[in-house]
Structure 1
Amino acid sequence: MFVFCIESSHTRGMGHLFRSLTLAAELRARGRPVRFLANDHPNSLKIIRERGFDVGLYDLASVTGWENSFLEPAAAAPVWINDRLDTQRSHSEAIKRLGVRLVTFDDRGDGAELADINICALMFEKTEYLKGKDVRLGLEYMILNPEIAAFRRLRQSLASILVTLGGADTYGVTARVAKWLRDKPFAVTIVTGPSFQHMAELEEVISAASPGRFTLLNQVPSLAAEMHRHDLAITGGGITPFEACAAGLPCVVIANEPFEIPVGHALEKLGAAFFAGHHSAFDLGILETAIPIRAMSEIAMTKVGLGGVGRVADLLERLAA
């Protein structure tokens, strides 16, 4: 049994949820039993159930003391997977007392030291301080939607921009980006996610633009399919820019959280993206220059692959053996 314990909300964002769903789908396809634990966030719970997974609720305010109620006594070699960022030590100790294997993602909490595996594909600075019995670094462990494989293509020039700033866009960056793009000579499509709460501000910006200036889409059936239509994406600093790059779609990254700043710098150094800064003071001036779209698209597809979900699933199966 693989138990995914996630945190997903407007404040936290939904990247943890979608990463875990991708990995859980791979394990399910291998015949492995999977269940989810999540905080009480209706949109997230709805998505988990729509994907066909069982989900239980845990209380975000309770650090520990509840873990054993979500484990089946007869489950063979259970593996507990935390995708909630920093794990507290008391929670890790509770998991280990139950004789359960513990896996964490991008974890700098004091409980990470007790993790059997700490998968840190999104960590690009101070990695020497990461804890865990087995710390896995590098883009080869990046869990990306395998659906992207059907939508990869080499971009040639910049004509169309996609703006997609996460399932929640906690700080309302989308409206500010739209305002900046309002008078620029690009076709712009904006995709909002299931927990987007800034529609009034966004619609005010769009209504002030010339008719047809923006295409606004909410909760598209396939972000990978939508990405295929565009030549550049403006994204946050989580999983999305890596999914875009794997599809050959160069990015401009805006960091929603401080820990996303190193992600933006890493993708820029890779040559697949530009980093526009933290959301509090981002700069999209790069869009006023000649952007080498073809070269960036080639680099993106070469450097960011889709094998991470299989590699991580292999690690988890070996851990459960």
Structure 2
Amino acid sequence: MFVFCIESSHARGMGHLFRSLTLATELRSRGHSVLFLANDHPNSLRIIRERGFDVALYDLASVTGWENGFIEPDASSSVWINDRLNTQRSHSEAIKHLGAKLVTFDDRGDGAELADINICALLFEKTEGLRGKDVRLGVEYMILNPEIAAYRRIRQSLASILVTLGGADTYGVTVRVAKWLTSKSFPVTIVTGPSFQHMAELEGVVATAAPGRFKLLNQVPSLAAEMHGHDLAITGGGVTPFEACAAGLPCVVIANEPFEIPVGRALEELGAAFFAGHHSAFDLGILEKAIPIKSMSETAMAKVDLGGVGRVADLLERLAA
């Protein structure tokens, strides 16, 4: 049994949810049982159920003391997967006391020390002090949507821009990006997610632009398929820019949170993206210059592969054995 404990909301964002769903789908395809535990966020609960997974609620305010109801009596082959960032030690101790294995993601909490595996594919600075019995660093452990494999291509020139800033876009960065782009000549498609709460403001900005300049899409059936039609993406600093790069789509990264700043810088160092700064003071001036789209596209596809979900699933299977 694999138990995914996630936090997903407008404030937290939905990246943890979608990463866990991708990994859970891979484990289910290998014949394993999966249970989701999630905070009370209706959009997230709906998405989990639509993907065919069982989900139970837990109380975000309760650090520990509730875990035993979700672990099978013979817990030796159970794996508890925390995708909530910083795990507190008392919670980790509760999981270990139940006899389950513990896996965490990008975890800098004091509970990470007790994790059997701490997978840190999104951490690019101050990694020396990361804790866990087995700490896995590197882009090769990035969990990306395998559907992207059908939509990979080398871009040749800049003809269309995609703006996709997460399932929630907590700070309404999409609106400010749209304002900046209203005076530019590129066709722009903006994709918003299931917890986007700034639609009226965004529609007001788009209404001031020339007809046909913007295309607004909400909750597209497949972001991978939508990415295929564009030559550059403006994204946040989570998993999305890596999915874009795996598809051969260069990015301009805007950090929504401080911990996303090193992600943007790392992708820029790879040669697959430009980093536009933190959302409080981003700079899209790079779009006013000649962008080497083809070479960036080739680099992106070469540096970011789609094997991460399989590598992580292999680690989890060995842990559960």
Shorter-chain TM-score range: over 0.9
Maintained 8 Å contact 2:24/2:34: yes
Superposition pairs of residues 183-198 of structure 1, within 5 angstroms: 183-198=183-198
Could you tell me which residue of structure 2 aligns to residue 236 of structure 1? Answer: 236
Could you tell me which residue of structure 2 aligns to residue 135 of structure 1? Answer: 135
For 2:196 and 2:72, how far apart are their aligned partners in 1?
Answer: 35
For 2:308 and 2:236, how far apart are their aligned partners in 1?
Answer: 20
For 1:261 and 1:238, how far apart are their aligned partners in 2?
Answer: 10
1:180 equivalent to 2:172? Answer no
For 2:253 and 2:200, how far apart are their aligned partners in 1?
Answer: 24
For 1:41 and 1:63, how far apart are their aligned partners in 2?
Answer: 18
- How far the C-alpha of 1:74 sits from its partner, in A, is 4.5
1:207 equivalent to 2:207? Answer yes
Could you tell me which residue of structure 2 aligns to residue 304 of structure 1? Answer: 304
For 1:18 and 1:281, how far apart are their aligned partners in 2?
Answer: 27
- How far the C-alpha of 1:319 sits from its partner, in A, is 0.1
Could you tell me which residue of structure 2 aligns to residue 147 of structure 1? Answer: 147
Superposition pairs of residues 1-321 of structure 1, within 5 angstroms: 1-74=1-74, 77-321=77-321
> Which residue identity lines up with residue 250 of structure 2 in the other structure?
P
TM-score by length of 2: 0.99
The aligned length equals: 321
For 2:78 and 2:244, how far apart are their aligned partners in 1?
Answer: 33
> Which residue identity lines up with residue 254 of structure 1 in the other structure?
I
Percent identity between the aligned chains? 86
For 1:306 and 1:75, how far apart are their aligned partners in 2?
Answer: 31
For 2:241 and 2:319, how far apart are their aligned partners in 1?
Answer: 29
> Which residue identity lines up with residue 299 of structure 1 in the other structure?
T
> Which residue identity lines up with residue 169 of structure 2 in the other structure?
D
Moved more, 306-315 or 201-210: 201-210
> Which residue identity lines up with residue 263 of structure 1 in the other structure?
V
- How far the C-alpha of 1:75 sits from its partner, in A, is 5.5
For 1:39 and 1:249, how far apart are their aligned partners in 2?
Answer: 33
- How far the C-alpha of 1:82 sits from its partner, in A, is 0.1
TM-score by length of 1: 0.99
For 2:118 and 2:51, how far apart are their aligned partners in 1?
Answer: 26
- How far the C-alpha of 1:124 sits from its partner, in A, is 0.2
Provide, for residues 262-286 of structure 1, a one-character-per-residue CA deviation record: whole Å limited to 9, x for no partner: 0000000000000000000000000
For 1:211 and 1:232, how far apart are their aligned partners in 2?
Answer: 21
For 2:43 and 2:74, how far apart are their aligned partners in 1?
Answer: 31
For 1:43 and 1:183, how far apart are their aligned partners in 2?
Answer: 34
Give the secondary structure class of the aligned counterpart of 1:81: strand
- How far the C-alpha of 1:72 sits from its partner, in A, is 2.1
Maintained 8 Å contact 2:75/2:100: no
> Which residue identity lines up with residue 186 of structure 1 in the other structure?
F
Maintained 8 Å contact 2:71/2:98: no
For 1:253 and 1:245, how far apart are their aligned partners in 2?
Answer: 11
For 1:186 and 1:76, how far apart are their aligned partners in 2?
Answer: 56
- How far the C-alpha of 1:212 sits from its partner, in A, is 1.1
For 1:302 and 1:258, how far apart are their aligned partners in 2?
Answer: 27
Cα RMSD for the two superposed structures: 0.6
For 2:108 and 2:164, how far apart are their aligned partners in 1?
Answer: 27
Q: Which runs of 5+ in 1 are unaligned?
A: none
- How far the C-alpha of 1:229 sits from its partner, in A, is 0.2
Q: Which runs of 5+ in 2 are unaligned?
A: none
For 1:32 and 1:74, how far apart are their aligned partners in 2?
Answer: 16
> Which residue identity lines up with residue 53 of structure 2 in the other structure?
F
For 1:242 and 1:74, how far apart are their aligned partners in 2?
Answer: 38
For 1:215 and 1:200, how far apart are their aligned partners in 2?
Answer: 15
